[in-house]
């Protein structure tokens, strides 16, 4: 397996335009497949911590179900104020597995 990457999910278990919550190295992460590409973002909204797992996806924009904040899943940017970001993680597909480069942020 590639250095720094952790296996998160079988690629066949993530459908196009779907959101799946997984735990990688103790962190709750959402995997999202759009246009055949897999994106990984933190599952908690940086506004007030709601889960984005039931958020609405339109193209590359994920809308929080609580108060409607919108994030670009490619870079995590909050669309109203781009200095506020949802954490994003690098992904790759290897041997049928989605790998996520999630570094534990204990410090």
Footprint on this chain of ligand FES (rule: CB under 6 A):
45, 47-48, 50, 64, 66-69
CB-nearer residue toward ligand FES: 11 or 66: 66
Q: Is there a contact between 66 and 45 (Cβ–Cβ < 8 Å)?
A: yes
Q: Residue 60 or 101: which CB sits closer to ligand FES?
A: 60
Instruction: Give the containing element (helix H, strand E) for 44.
Output: none
DSSP assigned state of 85: B
Residue 8 or 45: which CB sits closer to ligand FES? 45
**How many Å apart are CA 57 and CA 63, to the nearest integer?**
6
Token pair for 4: 């720094």
- Least gap, CB of 48 to ligand FES (angstroms): 4
Give the nearest distance from C-beta 43 to ligand FES in angstroms.
11
């Amino acid at each position: 397996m590639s250095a720094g990457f952790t296996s998160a999910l079988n690629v066949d278990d993530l459908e196009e335009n779907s959101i799946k919550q997984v735990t990688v190295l103790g962190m709750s992460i959402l995997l999202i497949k759009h246009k055949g590409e897999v994106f990984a973002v933190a599952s908690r909204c940086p506004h007030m911590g709601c889960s984005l797992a039931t958020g609405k996806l339109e193209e590359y924009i994920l809308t929080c179900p609580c108060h409607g904040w919108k994030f670009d899943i490619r870079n995590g940017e909050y669309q109203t104020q781009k200095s506020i970001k949802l954490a994003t993680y690098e992904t790759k597909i290897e041997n049928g597995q989605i790998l996520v480069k999630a570094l534990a942020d204990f410090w």
